[in-house]
Amino acid sequence: MDPSARMAGNDRAAADVVVIGAGTAGLVAAIRLSQGGLRVRVVAAGHGCLVLAPGVIDVLGYAPERVADPARALAPFVAAHPDHPYARVGPDGLDRALAWFRETVAPLGYVGALRHNRLLLTALGGLRPSCLVPQTMAAGDLSQGGPVLVVGFHGLRDFSPALVAANLCAVVPAPGTGVAARAATLEWPGPSGDGRPLTLARRLEDRSLRAAVGRDLRTVLGDEPRVGMPAVLGVDRWQEVWEEMQLVAGRPIFEIPLVPPSIPGLRLFDLLRRVLRAAGGRLQVGAPVTGVRHRNGRVEAVTVARTPREQVIDTRWVVLATGGVGGGGLQVDPDGTVREPTLGLPVHGVPVPGHPRVLPDPFASHPLDRAGLAVDEAWRPVDRSGRVVALNLHAAGAALTGCEPWREKSGEGISIATGYLAASAILEEAG
């Protein structure tokens, strides 16, 4: 046997579905597909964006005024934004996807409903609308105002309880309401710390260090019926940490998301990976996809960059979930060309050459922000004339055109719904 022919087989793998990307949309799609009985391999350049996100499930927070009831706001919102992914998701799709998600991540105890946005405290002391929140943030809905004790830690560099409390006293959650906030600071547990949330979260998993924090916490409690703390209450053993702190406080404690690395995001990422594995899915990280091989209008294989030899994965379906510009799923050249670098898919919503890509006001909605992939009803990318690029290639998540998740506060809603629905389309075809 010719040695080169013999060796070729070593660089091939096979799967029913290759999901490209290990962010929210990719993992959601992969889990759903695995649960549906398909052999799934998630292939990702690295870990996805979950550790950057606050771990809450935003559906629609601003449109552009603050949204109190996403279920009701959805129809007028998609009417105004016909290219938005939600226009294709629809209220029913969103409902199903979120119900499935809550069940899938049941150990994290997400609470909330599509009809009501909670107002969560930010790490600067503002209020931010979100729809589904993990158990540890459930008590943090400030939409009715009321007194709050904001507790931080000495040296924790991403959380200043004094500023949070001061700003919180100035916000008006709803007409006629307000928040009376007070700040307190606890000692950093154990030997002097590096100020990082992750270090603190790991320290709090230590029983004796936690006991010291508990003693400290008791001394700062007042009449406030609830306590807000930075989201550092344990990583793997968050439940134990959070419950024990509540027991000590004798009242509900809610976590306040911090800038990355986000610990609630990390918990969600870890859980989704476990669920995927349990469902039989495989996750291959550090594996950037370089392209696909087509045949008769279908993708038949995905190629993966690997030193010293490229890997080829034969597959029946592909889900592209590589994220937007921030995640590297879209790339912009100096001349303003926007590319989908993994598979070279057509990008829609790109500002006309010669027109500004971004505006002088950093807070503005920039012309470039809505660029992305357009898809058909089965979540398959289409070219400018609306033709499907490949019959078995689907896309989901932040790479889709027509949305500005960070401004709308819609990121996880879009990723979960589109990941779920893209997977549903494949399962339907698979029978």
Partner 1 sequence: MMKAVETDLLVIGGGATGAGVAWDAASRGLQVVLADRGDLATGTTGRFHGLLHSGARYAVKDPRSARECAAENRILRAVAADCIEDTGGLFVSTPADDAAYADGFVAACQQAGVAATEVPVTEVLRAEPHLCPGITRAFAVPDATIDAWKTVWACARAAAAHGAAILPYQEVVRLMVEGDAVCGAVLRHARSGEEITVRARYVVNAAGAWAGRVARLAGCDVAVVAGKGVMVAMNHRLVNAVVNRCAMPGDGDILVPVRTVSVIGTTDARVEDPDRVQASADEVRAMLAAGESFIPGFTQHRALRVWAGVRPLFAATSPTSAETRDLSRGHTVIDHAAREGVGRFITIAGGKFTTFRLMAEETVDAVCADLGVRAECRTAAETLPDSEERHYYWIGARQAQAEARPVDDPLVCECELVSRQDLLVAAARRPGLDLDDLRRALRLGMGPCQGGFCMARATGLLHEAGHLDRAAANAALRDFVEERWRGIQALAWGDQLRQMRLDAWILLGVLDLEHLPE
Partner 2 sequence: MTPGRLALTAVGDSLDRCIKCTVCESACPVAAVTSLFPGPKTVGPQAERFRQSQGSSPDRSVDYCSGCGVCTRVCPHGVRIAEINARARARWRGRTGVSLRDHLLARPVLTGRLGRPVAPVFNWALGQRPLRVAAERLLGVHRAAPLPRVVGRTFRYRVSRRRPPRSPDRVVYFHGCSVDYFEPWVGQMTVAILEHNGFAVDIPRQGCCGLPLQSTGLFEPARRSVRRLARSLSPAGTDGLPIIASSTSCGLMVKREAEEILGVEDARLRDVSRRTYDLFEFLAGLHRAGRLRTDFTPVPLTVAYYAPCQQRGQGIGEPAMDVLGLVPGLRILELDRSCCGIAGTYGLKREKYAIAMAVGRPLFDDIAAARPDLVACDSETCRWQIGRATGLPTVHPLELLYRAYGGAEPGSAAAGPGGQ
In the complex with partner 1, which residue's Cβ is closer, 37 or 344?
A: 344
For the chain, the helix, strand and coil percentages under 3-state DSSP, each to the nearest 5:
35, 20, 45
Q: What is the Cα–Cα distance from 85 to 71, expressed in whole angstroms?
A: 15
Smallest distance from partner 1 to CB 330, Å = 9
Positions 20 through 79 that interact with partner 2 (CB under 8 A): 44-49, 51-52
334 binds partner 1 (CB under 8 A): yes
Smallest distance from partner 2 to CB 290, Å = 12
**CA 281 from centre of chain:** 20
In the complex with partner 2, which residue's Cβ is closer, 117 or 262?
A: 262
257 binds partner 1 (CB under 8 A): yes
Mode of pairing for the β-strands spanning 311-320 and 298-304: antiparallel
328 binds partner 2 (CB under 8 A): yes
Positions 354 through 413 that interact with partner 2 (CB under 8 A): none
295 binds partner 2 (CB under 8 A): no
Whether 169 contacts 178, CB under 8 Å: yes
Burial 114-146, CB ≥16 within 10 A → b, else e: beebbbbbbbebebbbbbbbbbbbbbbbbbebb
Residue at 258: amino acid letter: L
Q: Give SS3 for 118.
A: strand
143 binds partner 2 (CB under 8 A): no
Q: Give SS3 for 348.
A: strand
Q: What is the Cα–Cα distance from 325 to 337, expressed in whole angstroms?
A: 12
| Total interface residues for partner 2 by CB under 8 A | 47
DSSP summary character for residue 307: S
Positions 176 through 195 that interact with partner 1 (CB under 8 A): 188, 192-195
Positions 103 through 132 that interact with partner 1 (CB under 8 A): 122-128
In the complex with partner 2, which residue's Cβ is closer, 1 or 352?
A: 1
365 binds partner 1 (CB under 8 A): no
Binding mask 34-63 for partner 1 (x = CB under 8 A): ------------------xxx-------x-
| DSSP state letters, 42-90 | EEESS--GGGGS-S-B-S--BSSSBPS-HHHHHHHHHHH-TTSHHHHHH
Q: What is the Cα–Cα distance from 344 to 364, expressed in whole angstroms?
A: 29
Q: Report the 10 Å Cβ neighbour count for 198.
A: 16
Among 336, 341, 346, 376, the residue binding partner 1 under the rule CB under 8 A is 336
Among 68, 87, 138, 166, the residue binding partner 1 under the rule CB under 8 A is 166
Whether 233 contacts 252, CB under 8 Å: no
198 binds, among partner 1, partner 2, none (CB under 5 to 8 A by kind): partner 2
262 binds partner 1 (CB under 8 A): yes
Among 223, 353, 363, 431, the residue binding partner 1 under the rule CB under 8 A is 363
Per this entry, what is the length of the chain?
431
Task: Give the angle 2-309-273 at the CA atoms, nearest 5°.
Answer: 125
194 binds partner 2 (CB under 8 A): yes
Whether 410 contacts 61, CB under 8 Å: yes
In the complex with partner 2, which residue's Cβ is closer, 21 or 349?
A: 21
Binding footprint of partner 2 on the chain (CB under 8 A): 1, 3-4, 6-7, 9-14, 44-49, 51-52, 191, 193-194, 196, 198-199, 202, 260-261, 266, 273-274, 277, 282, 284-288, 304, 306-309, 311, 326-328
Binding footprint of partner 1 on the chain (CB under 8 A): 52-54, 62, 66, 122-128, 155, 157-160, 162-163, 166-167, 170-171, 188, 192-196, 257-260, 262, 324-326, 328, 331-336, 357-363, 368, 405-407, 409, 411
